[in-house]
Amino acid sequence: MSEKNRSKKHLNLQKAYNLSSPEDNINFYRGWAEDYDADFALGMDYILPYQVASQFIKLKGSGPVLDIGAGTGLLGIEIQKLSKFEIHATDISEEMLLVAEKKGIYSKIIVGDLTKGLPIKDNSYNGIVSSGTFTHGHVGPEVLFEIKRILSKGGVAVLSVNSKHWHSLGFDATLQTLEASGSKTNVTEVNIYGQKCKSDSKNDTAYLLILSD
Ligand X SMILES: C[S@@+](CC[C@H](N)C(=O)[O-])C[C@H]1O[C@@H](n2cnc3c(N)ncnc32)[C@H](O)[C@@H]1O
Interacting residues toward ligand X by CB under 6 A: 22, 25, 29, 48-49, 69-71, 74-75, 91-93, 96, 113-115, 131-133, 138-139
- Are 51 and 115 in contact by the 8 Å Cβ rule? The answer is no
The maximal CA–CA distance of the chain, rounded, in angstroms, is 51
Nearer to ligand X, 79 or 139 (CB): 139
Which are the contacts of 176, defined by CB distance < 8 A and separation ≥ 6?
none
Element (H, E) at 210: strand 205-212
- Least gap, CB of 152 to ligand X (angstroms): 20
Cα(69)–Cα(21) distance, rounded to whole angstroms?
15
- Least gap, CB of 176 to ligand X (angstroms): 23
Nearer to ligand X, 139 or 209 (CB): 139
What residue is closest to ligand X based on CB?
A: 71
- Least gap, CB of 124 to ligand X (angstroms): 16
What are φ and ψ of residue 120, in 5° steps? -135, 135
- Least gap, CB of 97 to ligand X (angstroms): 8
Nearer to ligand X, 115 or 213 (CB): 115
- Residue 150's SS3 state is helix
Nearer to ligand X, 168 or 176 (CB): 168
CA nearest to 186, candidates 157, 152, 154: 157
Sheet with 151-162, side-by-side order of all strands: 108-111, 87-91, 65-68, 125-134, 151-162, 205-212, 184-191
- Least gap, CB of 87 to ligand X (angstroms): 12
Cα(196)–Cα(11) distance, rounded to whole angstroms?
18
Nearer to ligand X, 18 or 176 (CB): 18
